[in-house]
């Protein structure tokens, strides 16, 4: 609960519900040599070293074997380490992925970068590649100055980088506005001259300087960095209920929030007047006038005006606009007009910070997330109470908690709740977040008396849409949906057996060589580090970005990128949703995205200035298998879930409101259920069909304490807390070890109050203590009538979500594969360019039309291997003392790490990951049979 949603990944469970079955289209056998699944994956030890076709150095058979050995274990570790992270959106973590399963030789260079020398695919693959892109530029970018266009073999991109650097230094100017945490002015580099053509239909992608009001910087870094509002915040606006309680009609409530600021009285006055005019007459003209004054834009973009009018009129609205279309404006303008506070729920901290920074100066903003210290959140809550905040960004975990709600009991009015990236509400989306489940209309109305909700997303299938609108009670009439296609993106795709080499070629080819901002998306954290190093070694200024980095490092990378001080960011999915850098000209998918939604979100970072931009995808089947396999890492058996529920609702646990805790790590290991899954189950028990418990903030619950100044018994006379600790603790090595929730329950306190008291005693040097064992905390509300029925329901739900996740990945793969292998170029596709066919499939997918590509993605995966059963038998025989479930056995065969079978202990087994290319369900069924046989045999023998 306390964990916030600022991590990179969405959720680990995400998918669309089973789609209607389509006639299967067989995948051409010629797809790629690696698509064919051999009947038995060769034991890696026995593989003969493949003849080296080309190498930059001689590799002796001996060293080659050693190298292969090393890579084999590295691959095992690689697959093993792919831990899905919560938020997932869920980024997996792995070591770099050498791919020893095919022809070719790997070696590591001095910098430890694994490089594979492949058989040349065709004599001129790279030059084809280059020329194809060059052709593309000639065709599509008429305003390119050939003199400025860098070719693949152009002399020196480093010079260009250095030049850009110098430009950065010389041209940097600071422009600050009140909601800015830190701003770097846009910097022009040498490539600025490479004007990308504006498309005819790019609409009014007008870039105006919204910060350029000559405002005094009112922000500083450090603790008060979110103290938005600048000069506009001194006097409270009366978004509070008026005395007559008629808060909805109290439109005069805004009066006074635009207090005069030195140097700005004219603008403030004008905005105030424009707001008043809109309140009197909600006409397009008045709204346009306000838009111009508040944001500096001349025109509304498609869908904006309609959405703004709806919201101002109090109609809950579902808004689907493409990436970069300007959804944020659809709550910013209403926030100016409506009397109370606008609450914006966002899934990622980085996204919230970014949006806070981008609020126009006339809109004071604030932020609440679980990552803040208690002092920081207290400060924000106080500012909210005192009327200094007009737009508050809240993480879903903080939303509706008691501390948050207490502020709204003080007569504060919420005019609007905005659910950004609303697809996170739906388990059928690519990025479901359990914490979003608490954003139900019924709860929002009950707890905040909210009348109007605005849900926004760029990516929602019809199933996702249905579930969002149902849960937020949005009427079908209030759906505003525009095409999810971005017309200014050129989509290209190529298959790759050596992605790092191909990536370098691509980046040194036109048009990518001339781009000043590029994002390369990878699946795994280690991959981003490896690729960014590779790029730097090749004189391309790059940095990696993933959730494994410290928050400060991440924001530094983002800042450097946004100020054009680095050219390429190599990132996981962590760097995506909501990133609004207008001049990203290229997005490269080094790894296959997990769904078309993810593809759209990530490619949507490019061309946000409306200019033609390029997105390239490398399709590599090994990565597809790996990601597909990992999609099964969250599966749970009904038996394990029953045990979990039995533990939560055990008879010893009372329903009298005491705090209960569930140790995260120990429970995950005992039941072999990932921590994220445990949290989802707990969330479902809180906000599913019925409320069985109430989640409390997560805590470290085990405390080891020692006394210093005063003796324990004397201190116990003085403090109730110490008395209870002495009663409840166990003495271990001179330390008093106890459980925080138990002490809190005895004293009738909240766990946080116990911690506060301990902190005070520590400050007075009476005690020192250490906390460990992170736990989920909750209070029981109701015991389920039938635990078994409940666990069956939850297991079914989790498995449906898992199936949908795999389906999404399969569809993404099929669309890419179709472009590569089956596209006949009828709709204008040619060479690597497949904009038309990819877009057609995206439209089909989102409109839930029958997809024109087959539904059976990879029939070969569904086939049995004749050796699977034999290998399982031998594994069971060799590990007879290990307690295994069919799922655990199948996971080992697939190389999927789990809490009870981590890669650190199991990846060295020669069968680890051997069957990753066989469908997990097939392996699971085989595991059930073999485990039953094994148990039967063992019982007969004993
Ligand atoms: N009417 C407009 N005229 C010109 N520029 C606009 C207009 N509305 C929004 N913009 C600009 O468009 C950019 C993208 O807006 P925004 O970040 O709200 O997009 P979005 O729809 O939320 O995209 P994503 O889904 O990718 O997060 C912003 O820089 C914003 O200032």
Could you read off the pLDDT of 205-223 as tens digits, one per residue?
A: 222 222 222 233 332 333 3
CA of 471 to the centre of ligand 1 (A): 26
Verify that 556 and 670 share a domain, yes or no: no
DSSP of 855-884:
S---HHHHSPPTTHHHHHHHHHHHTTTS--
> From the CB of 608, is ligand 1 less than 6 Å away?
yes
The residue contributing the CA closest to ligand 1 atom 7 is 326
Q: Does residue 850 carry a pLDDT above 80?
A: no
CA of 578 to the centre of ligand 1 (A): 10
What is the share, in percent, of the chain residues with pLDDT greater than 90? 43
Any domain includes 151: no
Verify that 337 and 294 share a domain, yes or no: yes
Higher pLDDT: 167 or 596? It is 596
The residue contributing the CA closest to ligand 1 atom 15 is 326
The total number of structural domains that make up the chain: 4
Verify that 400 and 537 share a domain, yes or no: no
Sequence length of the chain is 942
Domain residues for 669?
Answer: 656-782
CA of 326 to the centre of ligand 1 (A): 3
Atom number of ligand 1 nearest to Cα 328: 18
pLDDT band at 861 (very low <50, low <70, confident <90, very high): low
Distances (CA, A) of 71 to 50, 75, 235: 14, 6, 65
CA of 252 to the centre of ligand 1 (A): 29
> From the CB of 366, is ligand 1 less than 6 Å away?
no
> From the CB of 320, is ligand 1 less than 6 Å away?
no
pLDDT band at 177 (very low <50, low <70, confident <90, very high): very low
Q: How far apart are CA 435 and CA 346, in angstroms?
A: 11
Sheet holding 613-619, edge to edge: 489-495, 613-619, 586-589, 518-521, 568-571, 542-545
Any domain includes 229: no
Verify that 371 and 464 share a domain, yes or no: yes
> From the CB of 486, is ligand 1 less than 6 Å away?
no
CA of 251 to the centre of ligand 1 (A): 27
pLDDT tens digits, 72-128:
444 434 333 333 333 333 333 333 232 322 222 222 232 333 333 333 333 333 334
Any domain includes 15: no
Any domain includes 433: yes
Q: How far apart are CA 645 and CA 780, in angstroms?
A: 12
> From the CB of 204, is ligand 1 less than 6 Å away?
yes
pLDDT tens digits, 471-518:
899 999 999 998 878 889 999 999 988 899 999 999 999 899 989 899
CA of 387 to the centre of ligand 1 (A): 27
Q: 359: helix, coil or strand?
A: coil
CA of 302 to the centre of ligand 1 (A): 11
> From the CB of 327, is ligand 1 less than 6 Å away?
yes
Of 54-63, 623-632, 863-872, highest mean pLDDT: 623-632
CA of 477 to the centre of ligand 1 (A): 24
> From the CB of 300, is ligand 1 less than 6 Å away?
yes
Supply φ then ψ for residue 891, to 5 degrees.
-65, -40
The residue contributing the CA closest to ligand 1 atom 4 is 206
CA of 312 to the centre of ligand 1 (A): 19
Q: Does residue 40 carry a pLDDT above 70?
A: no
Of 481, 500, 515, the last residue of a domain is 481
Q: How far apart are CA 322 and CA 489, in angstroms?
A: 12
Best residue among 202, 204, 328 to mutate for probing ligand 1, ranked by most atoms within 8 Å of CB? 328
User: Of 413, 386, 407, 429, which Cα lies nearest the Cα of 88?
Assistant: 429
> From the CB of 347, is ligand 1 less than 6 Å away?
no
> From the CB of 578, is ligand 1 less than 6 Å away?
yes
pLDDT tens digits, 266-280:
667 888 899 999 999
Give the pLDDT of residue 412: 81
Atom number of ligand 1 nearest to Cα 298: 3
CA of 301 to the centre of ligand 1 (A): 9
> From the CB of 856, is ligand 1 less than 6 Å away?
no
Q: Does residue 627 carry a pLDDT above 60?
A: yes
**In this structure, what token pair is assigned to residue 740?**
């925080």
CA of 336 to the centre of ligand 1 (A): 17
The residue contributing the CA closest to ligand 1 atom 31 is 326
Helix axes of 284-295 and 265-280: crossing angle, nearest 10 degrees: 160
Verify that 280 and 400 share a domain, yes or no: yes
The residue contributing the CA closest to ligand 1 atom 25 is 323
Give the pLDDT of residue 427: 78
Q: What is the dihedral of CA 716, 720, 722, 723, to 10 degrees?
A: 70
Of 747, 766, 782, the last residue of a domain is 782
CA of 515 to the centre of ligand 1 (A): 22
Verify that 280 and 423 share a domain, yes or no: yes
Verify that 346 and 464 share a domain, yes or no: yes
ipTM, interface predicted TM-score of the complex: 0.98
What is the share, in percent, of the chain residues with pLDDT greater than 70? 69
Q: Does residue 895 carry a pLDDT above 50?
A: yes
Please check whether residue 624 is in contact with residue 592, taking contact to mean a CB–CB distance below 8 angstroms: yes
Q: Does residue 705 carry a pLDDT above 70?
A: yes
User: Of 816, 67, 604, 695, which Cα lies nearest the Cα of 402?
Assistant: 695
The residue contributing the CA closest to ligand 1 atom 8 is 326
Average pLDDT over residues 811-832: 88
Any domain includes 293: yes
Best residue among 329, 483, 600 to mutate for probing ligand 1, ranked by most atoms within 8 Å of CB? 329
Give the pLDDT of residue 603: 94
The residue contributing the CA closest to ligand 1 atom 27 is 578
Q: 494: helix, coil or strand?
A: strand
Verify that 374 and 465 share a domain, yes or no: yes
Average pLDDT over residues 437-457: 85
Verify that 392 and 458 share a domain, yes or no: yes
Q: Does residue 415 carry a pLDDT above 70?
A: yes
Higher pLDDT: 704 or 371? It is 704
Q: Is the peptide bond before 511 cis (omega within 30 degrees of 0)?
A: yes
Verify that 506 and 602 share a domain, yes or no: yes
Q: Does residue 150 carry a pLDDT above 80?
A: no
pLDDT band at 45 (very low <50, low <70, confident <90, very high): very low
The DSSP bridge partners found for residue 524 are: 92
DSSP at 40: S
The residue contributing the CA closest to ligand 1 atom 28 is 326
Q: Does residue 844 carry a pLDDT above 70?
A: yes
Verify that 454 and 505 share a domain, yes or no: no
Is the pTM of the predicted complex or chain greater than 0.80?
Answer: no
CA of 770 to the centre of ligand 1 (A): 47
pLDDT tens digits, 352-377:
888 898 898 889 999 988 777 777 88
CATH number at residue 381: 3.40.50.300
> From the CB of 554, is ligand 1 less than 6 Å away?
no
CA of 325 to the centre of ligand 1 (A): 5
Q: What is the dihedral of CA 194, 199, 203, 208, to 10 degrees?
A: 0
> From the CB of 319, is ligand 1 less than 6 Å away?
no
DSSP of 142-170:
TT--TTTPPPTT-S-HHHHHHHHHHHHHH
Q: Does residue 416 carry a pLDDT above 50?
A: yes
Best residue among 183, 458, 580 to mutate for probing ligand 1, ranked by most atoms within 8 Å of CB? 580
The residue contributing the CA closest to ligand 1 atom 26 is 323
- Residues with Cβ within 8 Å of residue 593, at least 6 apart in sequence: 521, 599, 602, 617, 812
- Residues with Cβ within 8 Å of residue 148, at least 6 apart in sequence: 191, 193, 194, 514
Any domain includes 1: no
Atom number of ligand 1 nearest to Cα 351: 27
Q: How far apart are CA 248 and CA 518, in angstroms?
A: 46
Verify that 403 and 508 share a domain, yes or no: no
CA of 792 to the centre of ligand 1 (A): 44
Of 481, 501, 529, the last residue of a domain is 481
Higher pLDDT: 27 or 657? It is 657
pLDDT band at 560 (very low <50, low <70, confident <90, very high): very high
Average pLDDT over residues 432-441: 81
Any domain includes 724: yes
CA of 650 to the centre of ligand 1 (A): 51
CA of 327 to the centre of ligand 1 (A): 6
DSSP of 596-654:
HHHHHHHHTTS-TTSB-EEEEEEE-HHHHHHHHHHTTTT---HHHHHHHHHHHT-TTS-
Average pLDDT over residues 556-568: 91
Q: How far apart are CA 71 and CA 98, in angstroms?
A: 7
pLDDT tens digits, 732-751:
988 999 999 999 998 989 88
Any domain includes 767: yes
């Amino acid at each position: 609960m306390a964990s916030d949603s600022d991590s990179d990944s969405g959720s680990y469970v995400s998918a669309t519900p089973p789609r209607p079955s389509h006639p299967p289209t067989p995948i051409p056998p010629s797809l790629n040599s690696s698509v064919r699944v051999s009947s038995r994956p060769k034991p890696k030890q026995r593989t003969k070293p493949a003849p080296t076709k080309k190498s930059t150095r001689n590799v002796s058979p001996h060293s080659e074997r050693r190298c292969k050995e090393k890579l084999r274990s590295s691959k095992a570790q690689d697959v093993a380490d792919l831990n899905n992270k919560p938020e997932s959106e869920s980024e997996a973590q792995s070591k770099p992925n050498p791919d020893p399963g095919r022809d070719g030789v790997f070696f590591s260079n001095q910098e430890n970068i694994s490089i594979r020398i492949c058989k040349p695919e065709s004599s001129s693959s790279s030059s084809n590649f280059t020329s194809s892109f060059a052709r593309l530029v000639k065709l599509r970018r008429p305003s390119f100055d050939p003199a400025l266009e860098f070719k693949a073999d152009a002399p020196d991109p480093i010079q260009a980088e250095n030049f850009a650097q110098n430009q950065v230094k010389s041209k940097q100017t600071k422009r600050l506005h009140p909601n800015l945490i830190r701003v770097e002015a846009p910097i022009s580099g040498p490539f600025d001259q490479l004007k990308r053509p504006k498309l005819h239909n790019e609409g009014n992608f007008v870039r105006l300087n919204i910060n350029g009001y000559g405002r005094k910087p009112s922000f500083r870094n450090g603790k008060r960095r979110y103290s938005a509002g600048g000069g506009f915040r001194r006097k409270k606006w009366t978004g509070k209920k008026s005395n007559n309680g008629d808060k909805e009609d109290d439109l005069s409530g805004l009066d006074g929030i635009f207090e005069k600021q030195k140097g700005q009285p004219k603008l403030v006055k004008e905005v105030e007047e424009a707001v008043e005019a809109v309140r009197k007459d909600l006409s397009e003209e008045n709204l346009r006038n306000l838009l111009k004054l508040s944001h500096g834009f001349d025109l509304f973009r498609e869908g904006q005006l309609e959405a703004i009018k709806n919201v101002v009129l109090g109609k809950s609205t579902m808004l689907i606009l493409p990436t970069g279309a300007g959804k944020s404006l659809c709550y910013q303008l209403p926030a100016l007009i409506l009397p109370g506070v606008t609450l914006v729920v966002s899934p990622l901290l980085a996204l919230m910070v970014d949006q806070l920074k981008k609020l126009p100066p006339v809109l004071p903003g604030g932020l609440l997330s679980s990552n803040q210290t208690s002092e920081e959140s207290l400060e924000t809550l106080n500012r909210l109470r005192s009327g200094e905040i007009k737009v508050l960004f809240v993480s879903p975990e903080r939303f509706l908690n008691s501390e948050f709600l207490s502020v709204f009991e003080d007569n504060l009015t919420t005019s609007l709740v905005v659910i950004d990236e609303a697809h996170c509400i739906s388990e059928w989306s690519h990025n479901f977040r359990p914490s979003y489940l608490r954003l139900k209309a019924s709860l929002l109305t009950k707890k905040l008396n909210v009348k109007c909700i605005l849900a926004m997303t760029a990516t929602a299938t019809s199933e996702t849409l249905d579930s969002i609108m149902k849960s937020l009670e949005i009427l079908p009439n209030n759906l505003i949906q525009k095409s999810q296609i971005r017309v200014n993106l050129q989509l290209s795709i190529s298959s790759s057996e050596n992605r790092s080499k191909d990536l370098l070629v691509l980046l040194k080819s036109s048009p990518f060589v001339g781009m000043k901002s590029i994002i390369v998306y990878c699946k795994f954290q280690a991959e981003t580090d490896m690729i960014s190093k590779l790029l730097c070694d090749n004189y391309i200024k790059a940095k990696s970005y993933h959730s494994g980095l410290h928050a400060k490092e991440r924001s530094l990378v983002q800042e450097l990128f946004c100020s054009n001080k680095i050219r390429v960011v190599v990132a996981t999915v962590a760097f995506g949703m909501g990133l609004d850098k207008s001049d990203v000209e290229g997005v490269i998918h080094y790894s296959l995205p997990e769904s078309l939604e993810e593809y759209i979100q990530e490619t949507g970072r490019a061309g946000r200035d409306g200019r033609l931009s390029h997105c390239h995808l490398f399709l590599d089947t090994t990565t597809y298998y790996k990601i597909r396999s990992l999609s099964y890492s969250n599966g749970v058996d009904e038996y394990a879930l029953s045990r979990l529920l039995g533990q939560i609702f055990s008879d010893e646990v009372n329903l009298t409101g005491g705090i209960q805790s569930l140790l995260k790590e120990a429970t995950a290991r005992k039941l072999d259920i990932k921590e994220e899954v445990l949290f989802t189950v707990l969330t479902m028990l809180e906000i599913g069909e019925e409320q069985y418990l109430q989640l409390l903030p997560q805590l470290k619950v085990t405390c080891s304490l020692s006394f210093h100044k005063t003796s324990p018994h004397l201190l116990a006379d003085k403090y109730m807390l110490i008395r209870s600790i002495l009663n409840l603790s166990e003495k271990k090595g001179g330390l008093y070890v106890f459980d925080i929730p138990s002490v809190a329950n005895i004293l009738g306190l909240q766990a946080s109050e116990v911690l506060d008291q301990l902190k005070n005693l520590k400050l007075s040097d009476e005690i020192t203590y250490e906390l460990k064992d992170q736990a989920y905390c909750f209070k029981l509300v109701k015991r389920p009538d039938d635990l078994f029925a409940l666990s069956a329901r939850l297991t079914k739900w989790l498995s449906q979500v898992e199936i949908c996740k795999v389906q999404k990945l399969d569809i993404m793969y099929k669309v890419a594969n179709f472009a590569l292998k089956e596209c006949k170029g009828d709709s204008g596709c040619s060479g690597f360019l497949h904009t038309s066919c990819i877009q057609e499939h995206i439209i089909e997918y989102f409109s839930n039309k029958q997809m024109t590509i087959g539904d059976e993605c990879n029939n070969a995966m569904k086939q049995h291997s004749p050796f699977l059963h034999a290998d399982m038998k031998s594994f069971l025989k060799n590990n007879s003392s290990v307690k295994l479930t069919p799922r655990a056995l199948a996971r080992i065969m697939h190389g999927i790490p789990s809490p009870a079978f981590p890669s650190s202990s199991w990846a060295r087994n020669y069968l680890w990951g051997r069957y990753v290319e066989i469908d997990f369900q097939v392996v699971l069924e085989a595991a059930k049979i073999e485990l039953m046989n094994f148990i039967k045999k063992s019982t007969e023998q004993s």
